Amino acid sequence: MRLRGFYIGRAQRVAGLLLLMLLGECLWTIGHQPLDANDYRYAHCGREMWESPSVLQGYFTTCGNLNGDGTLAYRLAGFPLTAQRVVLLSVDHFRKPENRVFANGSLNGTTWEARHELGFVKYLLRLPFVIFAIWLGGGLWWVSKRLFGPEGGALALALYCFCPAIVGYATRPNNEILAMWGLYGLIYTAMGVAHALQGPRSKWKPRIVLLTVALGMTAMSHLLAAIVGFFAGAAFFLYLAERRRSYVSQIMIYAALGALVMVFAGFSFKMSAFLYVFSGGSARSWFSLDAARRFVMTPANAGIVVAAAVAAVVYARNKASRYFGNTAPLLMVLMLFPLYTTQVVSAPWVWALPFLFTFVGGVFADALESKERRMFVVLSAGVVVTQAVLCWVSMAGVL
């Protein structure tokens, strides 16, 4: 089946089903998860960014200058509510003055005092983060399928969709899911630009623009993720560019300048707030294995941990598995899992998860082409089913 040039085969249908299940998990979680102070904070300050009310003197929003948090999550959380407010006001203008719901053309004055006039706040506030999680799942499947084939892509996506941490971060306002989305896209876009340099110049510009946008969106989510992605992406870029390595530094500099402009735009082009990006300390970090230990010891991650352990053993023993497609995501996992921020509360270990699933999918795809295929088919199916059950049990609050 083809849809406007896009072939919809078995692999695409399996991926679509898995992403639909992820959407169902997220909607179920949102429906059973009441609004809390964190939700109100993101909604309030996000709406301030869009609606530009009078805020505290010297501060970007009433949340402060957001030197520790990226602006992207706040803007995403506030945008649906601001859009609903605009629609309500626009519809009201078509009523006669005596029949208007909102006097003087405003929702009771202040930005957040009109919250009782807005509907479906719980879903509107969190749905943008669900969309980005599904978007990342689609990108993860596309990368894994191209590198390792349909089976590797399906396994990587299944582990992603049934990971409790992914569902948890996808169903509440936060910058971690956005940084994870941006960092994964940034790394593989840098690789894509390296491959594009081997082809005609007409294909260079779109991918360089995409690299700039990926770096900018990552920086708007979390500065540390952008820094890690910039240097890691540049290293992979240099490795793959081969005879075109002289272009790498120029492209990365242009991408960095474009990303700075995007971050500046995220602060509504207000220089005083933008300068806090360089002095706020959000990129200060060190290394610890505590987060990795907690992830491994969490019962709800048992299927993922078993699959990762098997993949690590196969990678170490099988020389055929130690190629760039498997090594690159493994290096990112080893870099991100021990990372933690010292100045702000963040979770860089979460950014490693898509790379972990890519690594597992790649190694298992190699094993499925070996003489031990039958055993790995059974193991893959068992891991996915086990992880799915653990994820659903964890969502229900049993684990």
* 3-state secondary structure (DSSP) of residue 285: strand
- How far apart CA 199 and CA 155 sit, in angstroms, is 31
Q: What is the mean pLDDT of residues 311-327?
A: 95
What is the sign of the dihedral through the CA atoms of 170, 175, 178 and 183?
negative
Asked if 333 contacts 355 with a C-beta cutoff of 8 angstroms, the reply is yes
Query: Rounded to a whole number, what is the distance in angstroms from the first to the last CA of the chain?
Result: 41
pLDDT exceeds 80 at position 266:
yes
Q: What is the mean pLDDT of residues 18-33?
A: 96
Beta bridge partners of 6: 3
236-256 pLDDT, tens digit each: 999 999 888 999 999 999 999
pLDDT exceeds 60 at position 116:
no
* 3-state secondary structure (DSSP) of residue 396: coil
Structure tokens given for 313: 């053993």
100: left (phi over 0), alpha (psi -120 to 50) or beta: beta
| pLDDT of amino acid 108 | 47
- How far apart CA 207 and CA 196 sit, in angstroms, is 8
101-110 pLDDT, tens digit each: 665 555 544 4
The more confident residue out of 116 and 233 is: 233
Q: Which residue has the tokens 């110049």?
A: 201
Q: What is the mean pLDDT of residues 276-281?
A: 80
168-207 pLDDT, tens digit each: 999 999 999 999 999 999 999 999 999 999 888 888 899 9
Q: Per residue in 231-241, is it b (16+ CB within 10 Å) or e — as a string?
A: ebbbebbbebb
**DSSP string of 13-52, one letter each residue:** HHHHHHHHHHHHHHHHHHHTS---HHHHHHHHHHHHHHH-
CA-to-CA separations, 373 to 87, 257, 310, 378, in angstroms, rounded = 56, 48, 14, 9
- How far apart CA 313 and CA 307 sit, in angstroms, is 10
- How far apart CA 341 and CA 351 sit, in angstroms, is 13
Give the pTM.
0.92
Give the closest residue to 140 by CA, choosing from 13, 304, 18: 18
Beta bridge partners of 339: 287
